[in-house]
Structure 1
Amino acid sequence: MLIQATNKLRDELNLKELKPKERPPLFSWHANFFRLNRRKTVVLVNDATDYTVILYGLKKDDFNNFEDRVKAGIRRAFEREGIKASLIEKYLDQFEDFCYQKAKDRSYIARMNNSCKMTKRFADRLNENEIYQSRVAKNINNMSRKDDKKDYFYPDETLQHELAEYFGEKEVIQTQAAVLKVELELGEYQAWRKIIVPLNYTFRELHNILQKLYNWQDYHLHDFFVYSEEKDKTKNWNQSEYHRDGFKAVLNLAMNQENLDYNRDQLNFAAEDFEQAIENEVKLKDVLPARIKYIYDYGDNWHHYLETEEIIEDYNKNTPSFLEGEGTAPPEDVGGVGGFSEFMSIISNPDHEEYESMLEWAESQRFKEYDPEDIKSDLRLYIY
């Protein structure tokens, strides 16, 4: 493996002698060192694909074992992509020896600096307890770039293509996934969606997907409940853990530590017999197949019920897939189920005295009618 390191990284590694060797671009990475959130950070960018790997919060021991950290970072990132385990091993087997040289090609340095800028852009999404920031890296690798010919490409897709070509593999991605049917409770109306989601996604990523499915703008608080097959007749409709079909909650997932503490202490979830966790620390594979409820906006109180219809063992994509759906979702802050009913009544009647003003308000809320093609497009661009 060839690491083409900036001056700052070479200083941090205390590299005295450089013994550069030629490596194919797929096995050559440009790397930079900087501080982010006052933590030592290294960003590596693959020469052939612009694929980014992020190492965050590195300490002295990590730099003493830098080669191991790099290999582990690449492994974690590739696993997060859903790349086949056998192909990851083939790739890492090429790195029996590491060599370093100075980063001097202006084009590659510019591309590396671009990845560093994007890493800083998502600084608030980094996991403070993790070195290998595969979730943020996945978001960066899912964003379009321009090549030397000014054509657009995606680093994650380019990586898959290069791996397939180099190793002669037809299928690069192989992971488990779930077919989920989601139903938003809307009283007299209905809005359901069916999607495929890789099981290595976290519940934070599922939250982001659900936001896109229903055109929510992520203005409000949310959380999840996971249910067992057991029934619980002690709960009623005004308790957040309640399930409309009476199933027993076994897990509550809060959006962050602050909300978890609030649920535990203020809502007295500590006295309940279900577990609590933070959504970005739990993956779908940890709980599915299961029934799930996603609550968004505790003012309007939108309840989304998720059912696992199928587990796919050999899903060949690393992104969610929208299958089908029906029904327009409400705009933000419409006033819950009752408010949405009134809203639909007004905008379906051009003679209503509030028709024009309601359409203007709806536009300000980014309201739009159900369009499956819009959903497919939004899912390709969603934030991980």
Structure 2
Amino acid sequence: MPRRIFQLKVSLTGFHPPIWRRVLVPGGYTLDRLHRVVQHAMGWRDCRLHSFEIDGVPYGEPDPDAEPAVRDELDTRLDAVAGLGSRFGYVYDFGDWWEHELVVEDVLAADPGERYPSCPAGERAGPPEGVGGPAGQALLLAALTDPHHREHAAMRDWVGGRYDPEAFDPDRATVLLRRFC
């Protein structure tokens, strides 16, 4: 039987215009690997906590002292908990609370001439790591677009003067996915 590839649309919730990625990943990937796919597709560095919620069940890195208990993402394959049409949540950075919706748009047979994972499409740059969640991103964008904004210079310096919120390069994202996932 050919390897199954899940086509997922990953959308960062609460943003208009939307920030999203389309990724192709093997169904046999564990949720831990899927977490890394989302990280690199969004341009983040995987330096904060995260969790998935699928059908009301939390998945992540287990902590025996935490309540509620989460199921181990290292032991959970994507194709065991999701199928065509499934929708589930992913949260990254419990301080900034980057909430995502993941939708299984299609389940395909692997193309023998293709390498996976890949990111064939998406729109807009992911917010910078540590910007302060959706409210911090809104402040960043307001400050960067208005040279008279009181935070303009500080925010420009903070992002290094090279953050373009409209920019997204799927080829670069695919290179990162293949290198680190």
Q: 3-state SS of the aligned residue for 2:96?
A: coil
8 Å CA contact retained: 1:301, 1:336 = yes
Q: CA deviation at 1:209?
A: 0.5
Q: Aligned pair 1:300/2:96, yes or no?
A: yes
Match of 1:379 in 2: 177
Structure 2 CA distance for aligned equivalents of residues 345 and 296 of structure 1: 23
8 Å CA contact retained: 1:327, 1:370 = yes
Q: Aligned pair 1:335/2:132, yes or no?
A: yes
8 Å CA contact retained: 2:117, 2:174 = no
User: What is the aligned-residue identity percentage?
Assistant: 30
Normalising by structure 2, what TM-score?
0.86
8 Å CA contact retained: 2:12, 2:100 = yes
Q: 1:254 aligns with which of 57, 60, 66?
A: 60
2:58 aligned partner, one-letter code: N
Q: CA deviation at 1:318?
A: 4.8
The CA deviation string for residues 91-142 of structure 1, in whole angstroms up to 9 with x for no partner, is xxxxxxxxxxxxxxxxxxxxxxxxxxxxxxxxxxxxxxxxxxxxxxxxxxxx
Structure 1 CA distance for aligned equivalents of residues 131 and 95 of structure 2: 10
Larger RCO of the pair (alpha carbons < 8 Å, separation 6+) = 2
Structure 2 CA distance for aligned equivalents of residues 367 and 282 of structure 1: 35
Structure 1 CA distance for aligned equivalents of residues 150 and 16 of structure 2: 23
8 Å CA contact retained: 1:198, 1:318 = no
1:224 aligned partner, one-letter code: F
Normalising by structure 1, what TM-score?
0.43
Match of 2:50 in 1: 222
Q: 1:370 aligns with which of 160, 164, 168?
A: 168
Q: 2:78 aligns with which of 284, 293, 296?
A: 284
Structure 1 CA distance for aligned equivalents of residues 96 and 58 of structure 2: 20
Q: 1:380 to 1:342 in 2, by over 3 A?
A: same
Bigger mean CA deviation after superposition, 367-376 or 353-362: 367-376
Structure 1 CA distance for aligned equivalents of residues 65 and 99 of structure 2: 20
Superposed counterparts of 1:65-84, under 5 Å? none
The CA deviation string for residues 290-344 of structure 1, in whole angstroms up to 9 with x for no partner, is 2221110111101010001111134434521212111221111111111111101
Q: 1:334 to 1:341 in 2, by over 3 A?
A: same
Structure 2 CA distance for aligned equivalents of residues 372 and 277 of structure 1: 31
8 Å CA contact retained: 2:119, 2:171 = no
8 Å CA contact retained: 1:178, 1:310 = yes
Query: How many pairs does the alignment contain?
Result: 176
Q: 1:304 to 1:381 in 2, by over 3 A?
A: same
Superposed counterparts of 1:1-384, under 5 Å? 174-227=2-55, 249=56, 251-255=57-61, 257-258=62-63, 261-263=64-66, 267=67, 269=68, 276-289=70-83, 290-316=86-112, 317-363=114-160, 369-382=167-180, 384=181
8 Å CA contact retained: 1:195, 1:322 = yes
1:252 aligned partner, one-letter code: P
Structure 2 CA distance for aligned equivalents of residues 318 and 291 of structure 1: 25
> Which has the larger share of helix?
1
Q: 3-state SS of the aligned residue for 1:308?
A: strand
Match of 1:244 in 2: none
Q: CA deviation at 1:380?
A: 2.3
Q: What is the RMSD of the two structures over their aligned residues, measured on CA atoms?
A: 2.2
Match of 1:88 in 2: none
Structure 2 CA distance for aligned equivalents of residues 359 and 280 of structure 1: 38
Q: CA deviation at 1:378?
A: 1.4
Unpaired runs of 5+ residues, structure 2, are none
